[in-house]
Amino acid sequence: MTVLKKIVVIGPESTGKSTLCEQLAGYFKTYWCREYARAYLLQHGTNYTFEDLLTIAKGQAELEEKAIATAIAGKKEILFIDTDMYVMKVWCEFVFDKCHTWILDQVVSRQYDHYLLCNTDLPWVKDELREYPDLISRQKLYNIYKDIMINQHTPWTDISGNYQERFEKARVAVEELFGIGSL
């Protein structure tokens, strides 16, 4: 029986997380779990509350569980996940200076095999959901994520450069970590 390896792509907004997940899933011929917040905010608007972030976090966890089940049923070895509960924790604390206990409990209980932390060196791309076009806020958020990565136990790789360089760094990290080539 194959054990599913879960790789989370995290970082500030507009750092290429979704693009990277899609590229990696295509390369490794597997699935990826989308970020629930995008669909939620497109449907409900961007004037969200602290309670909305708990709803989004629960939606993200549910989406992730469905993606895990699909990957296992499809006998995949790797699942790429766009966003996890660390992202929800940072979002809550950055915007509201507090975090839901449920999210903190999920940070502790959910297990992953590797993190890919996307740096802020890509140009910011405006869309209807993004909030922080200024580089200072984006770098502050990146540093928060980096501090989290340094102080947790799951291996992680910093991902920087243009889109192609990011993909190559991530691909190499996954292949080296798991001793695999293209699946």
Which residues of the chain, if any, have pLDDT below 50?
182-183
pLDDT at 137: 85
CATH of the domain spanning 5-178: 3.40.50.300
Q: Which of 77, 85, 75 is nearest to 148 (CA)?
A: 85
pLDDT at 31: 97
CA distance 116 to 87: 13
CA distances to 15, 32, 132, 181 from 115, rounded to whole Å, are 14, 14, 23, 18
Distance from chain centroid for Cα 177: 18
The whole model's pTM is what?
0.92
pLDDT at 177: 81
CA dihedral angle for residue 42, residue 120, residue 155, residue 169, rounded to 10 degrees: 100
CA dihedral angle for residue 3, residue 173, residue 103, residue 120, rounded to 10 degrees: -160
pLDDT at 138: 87
pLDDT at 182: 47
